[in-house]
Amino acid sequence: MPDLLIELFSEEIPARMQGTARETLRKMVTDGLVEAGLIYAHAAAFSTPRRLTLAIEGLTAESPTLREERKGPQTTAPEKAIEGFLRSTGLTRDQLEIRDDKKGQVYFAVVTRPGRQAPGIIAEVLEKTIRTFPWPKSMRWGAGSLRWVRPLHGILCLLTSEAGAEVVPLDIDGIRAGNTTRGHRFMAPDEFSVTSFEDYAAKLKSAKVVLDSAEREEIIWNEAKTLAFARGLEVVEDRGLLTEVAGLVEWPVALMGDIAEDFLALPPEVLQTSMKEHQKFFSVRNPATGRIEGFVTVANRETADNGATILKGNLKVLSARLSDAKFFWEHDLRVVRTEGLEGMGAGLAHVTFHNKLGSQAERIARIEALAREIAPLTGAAPDLAAQAARVVKSDLRSAMVGEFPELQGLMGSYYARAEGLPDAVADACKGHYSPLGPSDEVPTDPVTVAVALADKIDTLTGFWAIDEKPTGSKDPFALRRAALGVIRLVLGNGLRVKLADVFAPRISAHVVNRYYSGKLDVLSALSDLQIPEDFKEGAELQFSGSVKAIDPDDYASAVEHFPDLADKLQDLLSFFHDRLKVFLKEQNIPYDVIDAVLSMPGADDLTLVVKRAEALTAFLKTDDGTNLIQGFKRANNILTQAEEKDGVEYSFGADPKFADTAEEKALFAALDRAEAAIAPAMQAEDFAAAMAAMAALRAPIDAFFTAVQINADNQILRRNRLNLLSRIRQICLSVADLTKVEG
Amino acid sequence: MSNPAPTNPATSNPAAPRSFQDIILRLMNYWASKGCAILQPYDMEVGAGTFHPATTLRSLGSTPWAAAYVQPSRRPTDGRYGENPNRLQHYYQYQVLIKPSPANLQELYLGSLAAIGIDLALHDIRFVEDDWESPTLGAWGLGWEVWCDGMEVSQFTYFQQVGGHDCKPVSGELTYGLERLAMYVLGVDHVMNMPFNDPEAPIPLTYGDVFRQAEEQYSRYNFDAADTEILLRHFEDAEKECEHLLSFPAEDPNSGKRIVMAQPAYDQCIKASHLFNLLDARGVISVTERQAYIGRVRALAKKCADAFVQTPAGGWTPDTSKAPDTSKAEN
């Protein structure tokens, strides 16, 4: 069976796009071939900066002949219907078959689609792939209209079988498919032809191109490790950088250099970030001291001087970069020594956080107040939490963070220590942004946790107050991440906090303060304030009456004036519940269980919610659990139907004296026992015990349903039994909303 | 002056350039030999070589074009009183624009590096993703920054849109930061020490001899002295004048010709842009205002682009005037 080789040769493809592009090429082409009726054994895609390559093994040489039958209208159908059928099948009437049907004679169209040779199919599929390839950004070039990530220069498309190799005829906007390609841009630029994938890969290697990015990564990593090892040093691992660098070279050559003595006093993260961001260097560490002392750069070629010129050039650039970093570091330290970290952040008063949420300084003041309030919950000293909150954002004004935004927080912790601030404050600088993603570690230090929560809660309540919520894939302020951060901080530290109580005054304050600081006409509407004709902004106004002031933090009174506050609060809590569901789903707690728990009171206490959900999940895994659910559902269904039919609610309590059978009596007794056990267990939040007590109802309920007919002719018995079912429902629902549980 | 001789990789090559001007002259000769019209700098203050009408306006419409020139460029916020080894508020860019972009533009570009003494067999040249966008010109393109041994030596861009118009055909634009490139080739560590003319000339001049004083004076002017009220007024005047010039009907009653004043209007747009840069350096523009100013300049640039495609150089013919304008971007 033939093999197919495709290479799309272009100008340099951005490194970050190559991985996805490989996979997309593989998928689009193989999907297209399969859809057209071809089958293949194996497909592998490769990329270098200048090429995307796809090698398909064991492709069928042609697609099978397909016979397709379609049933049409009856022969007696109106002319229009028959004509429509002819149009849709592309046949003429004498080509239709007439077959007998139950109702009479019916037209059938039998269309045979002959199999097609592979080259024609490949050409079509490849052309479509190229013309519709979903690059994150694509461009036109020259006078043409074709789009590709950068100018596309060549297409190699070769079908190889025992009979030999043939070029698949294809021409896309003047780029004609052939059997040739080129080697390394500088070391082997000449064109050469290939006969198969093996031939192609081998010839590329002698033309100084390593086709497989995984192999390039391996070469880079091994060379880098060897260079460092020879000097008793180690390379700092960085998978992302390795992948990126492998996407920048066709013929990797690692070169190692030393960082000049002048720069060794810089924090290691600064050295690493500067070298990585600007130069794409790997950092080399002295394992004895932990200091970053050197770097590995990866060139795209061998040279006659073994890279000496290249290394010298790179050193020169690095030295200029690190001089900048050193200047920033020393400048920032000077500022901290003279003005303190708080002083460093003074300029935040002039930095807008969001035009509807005020400056960074105003935001910090809010975070400070909130951190102080939350501190007791996390076990932090309120003053310390407030002190930390005042300075955690200060490094946003440092020269270093101005240059390297990714060092925010970390620089703050260095500068806090330089100023001699408490360790907890320094740690909060670094840790209060955490957790940043689902895999980022959750801080545990009480001060850090308090500030981290305050920061995120201020953000969330603020954006909810101004109706800037995430929609679809758009979440420009990373509010989903902030909510997940709050959830993980609360759960990770086992904090007991009723979120609604924390959110309500914050949303209220955002809304009320914004309202007051808003338009003058609004203010005047609230009072009998007179605005003089010649009033200029900034001038002072005289109140002739009294403004009925609303205390911004007093949710209860604010909600009277701003009724939509309640909606905003509810909406934010629902948002949290949605995030919590996603989070718990990853912990293997199913959606229905979460729903069952979230409709219980106290659903804004996340730690409580999770405790309950975990107990319910475990319960549902037991036999008793699943059977009890069945029993509960049966009871609930019968009861609901009866209530609908009778138009009453059966909640008067069943009377044991009407208990007729042994099973009925046993159920009464079991319910009494369960009730007695469940109430205190719930009180103690011992959900496992509550559910165990509930599980004990399984057998009596089952026995009851087997032995007793609910809808008895005797109305007294019937009502009493319905009221008994109501007790079952009531007891079960006191543990969780079991109506939401599936199964 | 620094003495780069023993460490300079290029000195092993007898044809290595010896001065800043030598590098400029070589680029001129090289691109002239490749068929470019060698233009002179535009006679206005601009922030980058792209602002020259030979790039911004000529990249519009379908008329072929090939030009290269040096453009003195001003970035008031980058002034460092002549003290920083790498930063200047006034510097030179070398700019090449070819429309449509030729298929061998990368090879042509690499040839220019060889022409200024970069031995391509010893250095590591890389094309690293860097998409270009000019919010003030309403322009963007895709391309790379070109690295030589880890140092950015040029910007290489395929223009996709300018002034809100799709570029059809696409222009290829090359921008060399001349000081940085020359410092690298000449092995100089501080820009002010770079030989401007031949170091063995009867009167050898360094870059500092020519420009240090100007850097000091303009740094002071840019940061402290420029009168912001006057600048603001000039900004508004330029904006007004630009729109005024574009409001004239195309038919000129004096000459009887069809004359769309795209370029005089564009001069005003350039002015507004530079005045904005000066105001920015004076620190009187807040973060929120900043976007608004950029938007105002962009609006002018778009109107000028709209006007330029109504001129013969922009592809206008009496026939196209009747057809609907298809060059306007869809989004």
Question: Are B65 and B212 within one domain?
Answer: yes
- Tens of pLDDT, residues B169-204: 999 999 999 999 999 999 998 999 999 999 999 999
Let me know if residue B53 belongs to a domain: yes
Residue B138, domain member (yes or no): yes
Show residues of chain B in contact with A314, CB under 8 Å.
149-151
Helix, strand counts (H, E) of chain B: 8, 9
Final residue belonging to a domain, choices B200, B220, B240: B220
The predicted structure's pLDDT at residue B4 = 39
Over its C-alpha atoms, chain A yields an Rg (Å, rounded) of 36
Q: Is the pLDDT of residue A195 over 60?
A: yes
Distance CA A368, CA A372 (A): 6
Give residue A379's identity as a one-letter amino acid code: G
Contact B128 A186 (CB under 8 A): no
Q: How high is the ipTM of this complex? A: 0.90
Averaged over A430-434, what is the pLDDT?
A: 94
Inside any domain, residue B324: no
Among A212-216, A425-429, A646-650, B288-292, the least confident range: B288-292
Let me know: does A242 contact A284? Beta carbons within 8 Å: no
Q: Does the beta carbon of B129 lie under 8 angstroms from any beta carbon of chain A?
A: yes
Is A662 a residue whose pLDDT tops 50? yes
- Taking CB atoms and an 8 Å cutoff, what residues of chain B touch A19? none
Count of domains forming chain B = 2
Across the range A132-160, mean pLDDT stands at: 97
CB–CB contact B102 A137 (8 Å): no
Interface test with B, best of A310, A322, A328, A331 (most B CBs within 10 A): A310
Q: Are A174 and B194 in contact (CB under 8 A)?
A: no
Asked whether residue B216 falls in the same domain as residue B233, the answer is no
% of chain A residues with pLDDT over 70: 95
A304/B9 Cβ within 8 A:
no
Of B85, B122, B150, the CB nearest to A304: B122
Residue B288: other Cβ atoms inside 10 A: 9
Mean pLDDT, residues A295-300: 97
User: B23 in contact with A at a CB cutoff of 8 Å?
Assistant: no
Please report, to the nearest 10 degrees, the dihedral formed by the alpha carbons of residues A577, A578, A581, A586 taken in order.
Answer: -140
Whether chain A has a CB inside 8 Å of the CB on B7: the answer is: yes
Q: Measured between alpha carbons, how far is residue A52 from residues A17, A145, A148, B277 in Å?
A: 11, 21, 12, 43
Which of B220, B247, B269 is a domain's end point? Answer: B220
Inter-residue contact A121 to A90 (CB < 8 Å): no
Position B127 scores a pLDDT of 96
Portion 329-358 of A in contact with B at CB < 8 A: 350-352, 355
What pLDDT does residue A180 have?
97
Cβ contacts of B143 on chain A, cutoff 8 Å? 150
CA dihedral of A602, A603, A608, A613, whole degrees rounded to 10: 130
3 state SS of A134: coil
Q: What is the DSSP string of A174-193?
A: TEEEESEEE--TTT--SEEE
- Res A541: pLDDT: 47
- pLDDT value of residue A516: 63
B330 found inside a domain? no
Using the Cβ of A498 and the Cβ atoms of chain B, whether some distance falls under 8 Å is answered with no
Nearest CA in chain A to B150: A314
Q: What residues in B contact A16, CB-CB < 8 Å?
A: 129
pLDDT value at residue A557: 75
Residues 121-140 of A with CB under 8 A from B: 137-140
What 3-state class would DSSP assign to B175? Answer: strand
Contact B101, B170 (CB under 8 A): yes
How distant is the Cα of B98 from the closest Cα of chain A, in angstroms?
9
Q: Is the domain of B171 the same as that of B45?
A: yes
B108 with B13, same domain: the answer is yes
Is residue B73's pLDDT more than 60? yes
Separation of alpha carbons A203 and A181, rounded Å: 10
> What's the pLDDT band for A550 if we cut at 50, 70, 90?
low
Best mean pLDDT range from A71-85, A200-214, A463-477, A553-567: A200-214
Among B103, B143, B170, whose Cβ lies nearest the Cβ of A140?
B170
Residues in chain A: 743
Which CATH number goes with the domain that contains B307? 1.20.58.180
- Tens digit of pLDDT for each residue in A110-134? 888 889 999 999 999 999 999 999 9
Q: Is the pLDDT of residue B232 over 80?
A: yes
Residue B7: predicted pLDDT: 39
| B236 and B196 assigned to the same domain | no
CB interface of B with A, residues 233-252, below 8 Å: none
Please state whether beta strands A42-48 and A3-10 pair in parallel, antiparallel, or not at all (unpaired). Answer: unpaired
Cite the beta strand spans of B113-182 per DSSP E: 125-129, 132-134, 139-148, 151-162, 165-166, 172-177
**Mean pLDDT confidence for B243-264:** 96
Asked if residue B167 and residue B63 are part of one domain, the reply reads yes
Q: Is A424 on the interface with B (CB under 8 A)?
A: no
Q: What is the DSSP string of A238-270?
A: -HHHHHHHHTT-SS-EEEEEEPPGGGTTS-HHH
Does pLDDT of A519 surpass 70?
A: no
B315 in contact with chain A, both atoms CB, cutoff 8 A: no
Q: Return the structure tokens found at A361.
A: 């300084």
The gap from C-alpha A718 to its chain's centroid, in whole angstroms, comes to: 54
Using the predicted structure, report yes or no on whether residue A77 has a pLDDT greater than 90.
no
The pair of structure tokens assigned to A46 is: 């490769």
Q: Are A413 and A429 in contact (CB under 8 A)?
A: yes
Contacts (Cβ under 8 Å, ≥6 apart) of A561: A512, A550
Q: Tell me: the pLDDT tens digits for B306-325?
A: 999 999 999 898 876 555 44
A184 pLDDT tier (thresholds 50, 70, 90): very high
Contacts of B144 in chain A (CB under 8 A): 12
CA B108 to chain centre: 19
Structure tokens at A498: 């009723």
Which residues of chain B does A310 touch, with a Cβ-Cβ cutoff of 8 Å? Answer: 122-124, 149
**b/e per residue B77-111 (b: at least 16 CB within 10 A):** ebbeebebebbbbbbbbbbbbbbbbbeebbebbbe
How far does A280 lie from chain B, in Å, by closest CA? Answer: 9
Which pLDDT band holds residue A488 (cuts at 50, 70, 90)? Answer: very high
Residue A305, chain B, CB below 8 Å: the answer is yes
pLDDT (mean) for A486-512: 90
Q: Show the domains of chain A with their CATH numbers.
A: 3-62+117-206 (no CATH), 67-113 (no CATH), 213-302 (no CATH), 352-383+420-580 (no CATH), 617-740 (1.10.730.10)
Mutate to test the interface with B, among A140, A244, A403 (most CBs of B within 10 A): A140
Q: Which DSSP helix (H) or strand (E) runs through B254?
A: none
Place of tokens 């901290």: A336
* B111/A contact by beta carbon, under 8 A: no
B184 token code pair: 């690298």
In terms of domains, do B254 and B167 share one? no
* CATH code of B46's domain: 3.30.930.10
The tokens for A494 are 């086992």
B331 domain-assigned:
no
pLDDT winner (highest mean) among A560-569, A729-738, B177-186: B177-186
B100 with B214, same domain? yes
Domain enclosing residue B55, as ranges = 5-220
> Is the pLDDT assigned to residue B129 strictly greater than 80?
yes
Q: Are A148 and A140 in contact (CB under 8 A)?
A: no
Name the phi and psi angles at B21, rounded to 5.
-70, -30
Tokens of A408: 């925010």
Residue B294 domain-assigned? Answer: yes
Question: Which of B122, B131, B184 has its CB closest to that of A137?
Answer: B131
Chain A residue numbers with beta carbons less than 8 Å from the beta carbon of B142 are: 137-139, 149-150
Closest residue in chain B to residue A247, using alpha carbons only: B128
In a domain, B322, yes or no: no
Same domain, B246 and B187: no
In angstroms, the CA A558 to CA A566 distance is 10
Amino acid at B196: F
Indicate whether B200 and B236 sit together in one domain. Answer: no
- pLDDT for A549 equals 57
Give the residue among A702, A639, A700, A707 at the shortest CA–CA distance from A673: A700
Residues in chain B closer than 8 A to A143 (CB atoms): 100, 168-170
| Residue B116 predicted with pLDDT over 90 | yes
Instruction: Report the pLDDT value the prediction gives residue A545, as an integer from 0 to 100.
Output: 42
% of chain B at pLDDT higher than 70: 91
b or e along A728-743 (b: 16 or more beta carbons within 10 Å of the residue's beta carbon)? bbebbbbbbbbbebee
Same-domain check for residues B294 and B151 = no
Contacts of B276 (CB under 8 A, 6+ apart): B136, B235, B285, B293, B294, B297
In a domain, B287, yes or no: yes
The two three-digit tokens of residue B269, written as one number:
């747009």
Q: Does B159 touch chain A (CB under 8 A)?
A: no
Cβ of A143 and B86 within 8 Å? Answer: no
B114 and B137 housed in the same domain: yes
Do the beta carbons of residue A687 and residue A607 sit within 8 Å?
no
